[in-house]
Structure formats: C-alpha cells, structure tokens
Amino acid sequence: SNAQRDGETYRFYTRGMNEMVRERLSLESHLLRALKNHEFVLFYQPKVRLSNGSIEGVEALIRWQDPEKGIVFPSRFIPTLEETGLILPVGEWVVQQALSDLSGWIARGLSVPRVSVNVSSIQLRHRDFLETLVRLWGPEERAGLLEIEITESLILDDVPGTIATLQEIRSQGMTVSIDDFGTGYSSLSYLASLPVNTLKIDQSFVAQLGDRPESLSIVSAIISLAHSLNLSVVAEGVEKESQLSMLSELGCDAIQGFLVSEALPADRFEAFLQNGKGFLPGA
Ligand code: C2E
Ligand code: MG
Ligand code: MG
Ligand code: MG
C-alpha cells in the first residue's frame, strides 16, 4: 500500500540522514586531528604577466595530506571547516604558513612575488581576523607581499562592513583581489567603491573561451570593466594556448592555470622560481 511505501521511504531517508550526520562528525573530528597533527599543507600556483612572462604573484592553495587517503582537495573539506568554525584556526595557519614560506624564499635570496591567500567570508567577518592578520604580518621586508583573495558573493552580504575591513587591510599594505569574478551577483554600482586591486575572471568563462561566443563577450567585458576602474585582471584556469592568445589579445594582465603550472609543493615552487624569467609556454 501507499502507507507502507511511505513508511519505507521514511526509513530510507532516516538511514540516509544518519549516515550523513555520521560522516560529517567523522570528517569534523578528522579535520580537528589534521590541524593538531600538522596534516595541512600549502601548494603554490604562479600567476604570470602576459606583457613579459614574469611572475606577478603566487596563490597559496590548501591541501590535506591525510595519512590514509593521501592528498585531499579543499572542495572536500572547506565547507565542513566553515560550518564548524574550524576555518578560523585553519585560516590563521594558512596565513602563518604562507608568510613563513615567503620569509624562507626571501632569506634564500629569491626574487619573490606577492603571495595570496584565500579568505572565506566567515574569516573576514570575524572580529579577530584583522588583528590576527596584522599580528602575523610583521616584518617590513614583506611589505606589499601579501594579498587576500575573497569571493564576490561574500561582499554582497554586508557592503559597508566589507568596505571598512578591506580598507583596513589595504592601509596595512596588503592588496585584495576578487576571486571567481563573474559568478556572483556584483552590482556594478558598488564595484567602483570597493577597495580592491584585482579581479580574477572565473575559470568557467575561460574554459569556454573559443567554444561559446558569450564567454568571449563576458571575458572581454570584465577586462574592460576592470581597466576602466584601474584594476588589474587575472584569468584563472588557463589550460590551452588558444585561451592564452585570446586573453592576450583582449588585454588581460596575467594568467593562472595548468598551461603555466599546476599548484606545486613549496620546495617545487621554489625550484620553479629559480628557473628563470620566461614563464610563459613557448617563451
Ligand atoms: P580558487 O581560489 O578559485 O582556486 C582556483 C582553483 O582552480 C584551485 O583549486 C586550483 O588548483 C584550480 N586550478 C588552477 N589552475 C587550473 C586549471 O588550469 N584548470 C583547472 N581545472 N583548475 C585549475 P583547489 O586548489 O582545489 O582549490 C579550490 C578552492 O578552494 C579555491 O578556489 C578556494 O576557493 C578554496 N581554497 C583553497 N585554499 C584555501 C584556503 O587556504 N582557505 C580558504 N578559505 N579557501 C581555500
Ligand atoms: Mg583563489
Ligand atoms: Mg577562483
Ligand atoms: Mg573558487
């Protein structure tokens, strides 16, 4: 009967939900252990200037080196870190580790680019975030070498609050970029008033460059918009030479993507830096 079927459906969902809750709790406790046992690592992916092939910056991307599962990517655990508030201590570790790697590169005489870290909305809205950032920031030698990447959706929730925080961050000598630009619902009217330096074109548009005329229009519009607001533009997720040449023709400032390099462990990124000046393929 129907009643019986509904009963089965109910039991089915209950069991499904219990499993989800169990998995969540297990992931949460594993993540807490990961933080305590230093299982998080930062990988680094370069951003390369199209004008001369030099390195414009490098983005720190977190990975979890799970003793059993191996490398786990952030999409698998960032949401849980955010839901549980663990993103605060982990985010602090990210800034600390990125600055420590940066100091190491400086100490070994490398000409280092600006390092960017991704910051989630929970961090940016947290009272202590700015204080932590400034405390970890420290020595003069690193002035101008830290950037934060925030996503577009984050800004919309609290425009005046975000503007105030970003202003404070920039007054400390750090720069700010808007990540995944074009996927959120930015109002062009406040974009002009946002204290940011760079727009990063979301990789979904870059991936469709050449296949879908709309993507070409969108990318072209973002580049014009950025330049008219005196912002620089980085294209994310560049994988093909054809994308590189289109972006170059459209006047994009820098690219990031597998075509240049995937994200590398700190020591391998250091070797990459030492390799020289022409970082564009074919250069
Ligand atoms: P994101 O900041 O937009 O980073 C770009 C993502 O695209 C990275 O994935 C990067 O490895 C990947 N990628 C780079 N080049 C290419 C390419 O040519 N093709 C393709 N298909 N992908 C490419 P990843 O490292 O898995 O990070 C995913 C997201 O996780 C990041 O997106 C960022 O939002 C978040 N995330 C990473 N590290 C942190 C962190 O330390 N803190 C916070 N809050 N979020 C982080
Ligand atoms: Mg990013
Ligand atoms: Mg992005
Ligand atoms: Mg993203």
Asked if residue 62 has its Cβ within 6 Å of ligand 1, the reply is: yes
Beta strands in 91-163 (DSSP E): 114-118, 146-151
- C-alpha dihedral sign at 195, 198, 203, 209: positive
Asked if residue 94 has its Cβ within 6 Å of ligand 1, the reply is: yes
Q: What is the pLDDT of residues 184-239, one digit of tens each?
A: 766 777 788 899 999 999 999 999 998 888 999 999 999 999 999 999 999 999 99
Q: What is the mean pLDDT of the chain?
A: 88
pLDDT at residue 27, as a whole number: 86
DSSP 8-state secondary structure symbol assigned to residue 143: T
CA of 249 to the centre of ligand 1 (A): 26
Asked if residue 258 has its Cβ within 6 Å of ligand 1, the reply is: yes
CA of 176 to the centre of ligand 3 (A): 13
Q: What is the pLDDT of residues 37-89, one digit of tens each?
A: 999 999 999 999 999 999 999 999 999 999 988 999 999 999 999 999 999 99
**What would the two tokens of residue 262 be?**
């995937």
pLDDT at residue 255, as a whole number: 98
CA of 265 to the centre of ligand 4 (A): 19
Strands 55-66 and 40-49: antiparallel
Q: Whose CA is nearest to atom 22 of ligand 1?
A: 237
CA of 276 to the centre of ligand 2 (A): 25
The atom of ligand 1 lying closest to the CA of 117 is: 41
To test the pocket of ligand 1, the residue of 42, 44, 61 to mutate (highest count of ligand atoms within 8 Å of its CB) is 61
Q: What is the pLDDT of residues 105-131, one digit of tens each?
A: 999 999 899 999 999 988 998 888 888
Say what the pTM is: 0.91
Asked if residue 189 has its Cβ within 6 Å of ligand 1, the reply is: no
ipTM of this complex prediction, to 2 decimal places: 0.98
- What angle, 0 to 180 degrees and rounded to 10, lies between the N-to-C axes of helices 241-249 and 213-228? 40
Asked if residue 74 has its Cβ within 6 Å of ligand 1, the reply is: yes
pLDDT at residue 31, as a whole number: 93
Ligand nearest to the CA of 41: 1
Q: What is the pLDDT of residues 240-281, one digit of tens each?
A: 999 999 999 999 999 999 999 999 999 999 999 988 656 787
Q: What is the pLDDT of residues 82-103, one digit of tens each?
A: 999 999 999 999 999 999 999 9
Nearest CA among 280, 275, 228 for reference residue 254: 280
pLDDT at residue 157, as a whole number: 72
CA of 99 to the centre of ligand 1 (A): 19
135, pLDDT greater than 60 = yes
Calculate the alpha carbon distances from 53 to 46, 220, 221, 238, 256 in Å.
11, 21, 24, 14, 12
Asked if residue 61 has its Cβ within 6 Å of ligand 1, the reply is: yes
pLDDT at residue 203, as a whole number: 96
pLDDT at residue 16, as a whole number: 72
How does residue 160 score in pLDDT terms, banded at 50, 70 and 90? confident
How does residue 1 score in pLDDT terms, banded at 50, 70 and 90? very low
CA of 7 to the centre of ligand 4 (A): 41
Q: Whose CA is nearest to atom 30 of ligand 1?
A: 74
pLDDT at residue 15, as a whole number: 64
